[in-house]
Amino acid sequence: DSFLEVPPTGTLSKDQLTGLPGLEGSLIAAYAQLSALSQTHSGPSNWLIGSIRGGDANKGTDPGDGTEMIPIQRYEYVSTDQVAGNVYASYFDGVARANSVLSLLKEAQASVKDADKARISAEARFIRAHFYFQLKRNFNMVPYVDENIGVGNGIEKVKNDTDLWPKIEADFKAAYDVLPETSSSVGRANKWAAASYLAKTYLYQKKYAEAKALFDLIIANGKTTGGRKYALLPKYSDLYRVANDNNSESIFAVQATVKSGSGNNANGDLQLNFIQGVDPGTCCGFFQPSFEFVNSFRTDANGLPLLDNSYNAPANAVKTDMGIKSDQPFTLDAGPLDPRLDHSIGRRGIPFLDWGPHTGASMIRNQPNGGPYSPKKYIFTKAEKAAGLTETGGWGHQTYNAYNVTIIRFADVLLMAAEAEIEVGSLAKALEYTNMVRGRATNASDFVMLNGAPAANYKIGLYSSFPTKEYARAAVRFERRIELGMEGYRFYDLVRWGEDVEAINRYLKYDQVLLPGALGGAVYTANKALFPLPQSQIDLIGKDILKQNPGY
Partner 1 sequence: QKSVSGKVSDSKGEGVPGASISVKGTTAGTISDAEGNYKINVPNAGGTLVISSIGYKTVEITLGNQTTVDVTLEDDAASLDEVVVTGYSVDKRRESTGAISTVKTRDLTTVPSASVEQQLQGRVAGLTVVTTSQPGSGSQIRVRGFGAFGGNAPLMIVDGFPVGDVNYLNPEDIESTTVLKDASAASIYGARAANGVIVYTTKKGKKNAKKLNVTYDGVFGFTDPGQGQKMMNPQDQAEWTWTALRNSGAPLTHPQYGSGATPIIPDYLKVGNRSGVVGTIDIEAERAKYNITGPTIGDYYQVIKANKAGTDWYKELTQTGTIQRHSLGFEGGGDASRFFVGLSLQDQQGILASQRAKRIAMRVNTEFDLFKNVRIGENIQLTFLQILGRQGGNNGLQSSQDENDILGAFRSPTIIPVRDEFGGWAGTTALGFGQGSNPVANQQAGKLNKNYNALASGNFYIEVDPIKDLTLRSSIGGTFNNFYGWGYGRPIYETLENKSVVWSYNESGGFRLGWTFTNTATYKKKFGAHGIDLLVGQEALNTGFGKDMRADGRAPFSGDPNYITISTLDIRNPATSVKDNGITFNSYFGRAIYSFKDRYIITGVIRRDGSSRFGQNNRYGVFPAVSAAWRLSDESFMKGLAWVTDLKVRGGYGTMGNSNNVAPANQFNLYEQNVGTSGYDINGTNGGIVGGFRQSRIGNPNAKWETSITKNIGIDGSFLKGKLDVILDLWQKDTKDLLYTLPITQTVGSATAPSVNVGTMVNKGIDIQVITRGKFGAEVGYEFDVTGSFLDNKITQIGGGLTYLLDVNPGFRGVNPIRNQLGYSLSSFYGYQVVGLFQTQEEVNEALKPTATPGAAIPTQTGAGLGRFRYADLNGDGTITADDRTYLGSPVAKFTGGLNFRLTYKNFDLLAYFYTSIGNKIYNISKRFTDFYPLFAGSAISERVKDSWTPENRDTNIPRFEQNDGFSTGSQSSSFYVEDGSYLRFQNLSIGYNFPTTLANKMKLSRLRVHAAVNNLLTVTKYGGLDPQVAGAADTNFGVDLGNFPMTRQVTFGLNVGF
Footprint on residues 502-541 left by partner 1 (CB under 8 A): 516-517, 521, 534-537, 539-541
Backbone torsions φ then ψ of 286, nearest 5 degrees:
-85, 170
Q: Which CA distances in Å does 491 have to 53, 190, 496?
A: 6, 27, 9
- Judged by CB under 8 A, which stretch of 1-9, 42-50, 107-115, 442-450 contacts partner 1? 1-9
Within 319-358, the residues that bind partner 1 by CB under 8 A are 323, 325-327
Q: Which is nearer to partner 1, 208 or 373 (CB)?
A: 373
Site string for partner 1, 226-245 (x = CB under 8 A): x---------------x--x
Burial class (CB within 10 angstroms; exposed 0-12, middle 13-18, buried 19+) of 220: exposed
Q: Which is nearer to partner 1, 80 or 464 (CB)?
A: 80
Within 79-108, the residues that bind partner 1 by CB under 8 A are 79-80, 82, 88-89, 92-93, 95-97, 99-100
The number of CA neighbours under 13 Å toward the Cβ of 305 is: 28
Q: How far apart are CA 195 and CA 452, in angstroms?
A: 43
Residue 7 touches partner 1, criterion: CB under 8 A: yes
Site string for partner 1, 281-300 (x = CB under 8 A): -xxx----------------
- Judged by CB under 8 A, which stretch of 61-69, 202-210, 304-312, 334-342 contacts partner 1? 61-69
Backbone torsions φ then ψ of 110, nearest 5 degrees:
-60, -25
> Residue count at the site for partner 1 (CB under 8 A)?
110
Q: Which is nearer to partner 1, 463 or 531 (CB)?
A: 531
Q: Which is nearer to partner 1, 308 or 327 (CB)?
A: 327
The single-letter DSSP state of residue 406 is: E
Confirm if 258 and 268 have CB atoms less than 8 A apart.
no
Concatenated DSSP letters of 249-318: TEEEEE---SSSS-GGGTTGGGTT-B-SSSTTT--B-EEEEPHHHHHTTBB-TTS-B-TTSGGGSTTTSP
Q: Which is nearer to partner 1, 76 or 502 (CB)?
A: 76
Within 183-212, the residues that bind partner 1 by CB under 8 A are 184-188
Q: Which is nearer to partner 1, 260 or 465 (CB)?
A: 260
Q: How far apart are CA 365 and CA 281, in angstroms?
A: 13
In the complex, the smallest distance separating the C-beta of residue 136 from partner 1, rounded to whole angstroms, is 14
- Considering only residues 84, 145, 218, 416, which one is a binding residue for partner 1 as defined by CB under 8 A? 145
Q: Which is nearer to partner 1, 89 or 332 (CB)?
A: 89
Q: How far apart are CA 44 and CA 33, in angstroms?
A: 10
- Considering only residues 162, 205, 264, 316, which one is a binding residue for partner 1 as defined by CB under 8 A? 264
Q: Which is nearer to partner 1, 51 or 537 (CB)?
A: 537
Q: Which is nearer to partner 1, 92 or 204 (CB)?
A: 92
Please, what sign has the CA dihedral across residues 468, 473, 478, 480? positive
Amino acid, res. 43? G
Site string for partner 1, 353-392 (x = CB under 8 A): ------x-xx--xx-x--------------------x--x
In the complex, the smallest distance separating the C-beta of residue 211 from partner 1, rounded to whole angstroms, is 28
What residue ranges in 309-462 does DSSP mark as E strands? 345-346, 374-375, 390-392, 398-401, 405-409, 449-450, 453-454
Q: How far apart are CA 196 and CA 309, in angstroms?
A: 31
Q: Which is nearer to partner 1, 115 or 243 (CB)?
A: 243
The number of CA neighbours under 13 Å toward the Cβ of 22 is: 19
Confirm if 59 and 370 have CB atoms less than 8 A apart.
yes
In the complex, the smallest distance separating the C-beta of residue 289 from partner 1, rounded to whole angstroms, is 21
Q: Which CA distances in Å does 61 have to 140, 142, 288, 486, 535?
A: 31, 33, 8, 16, 28
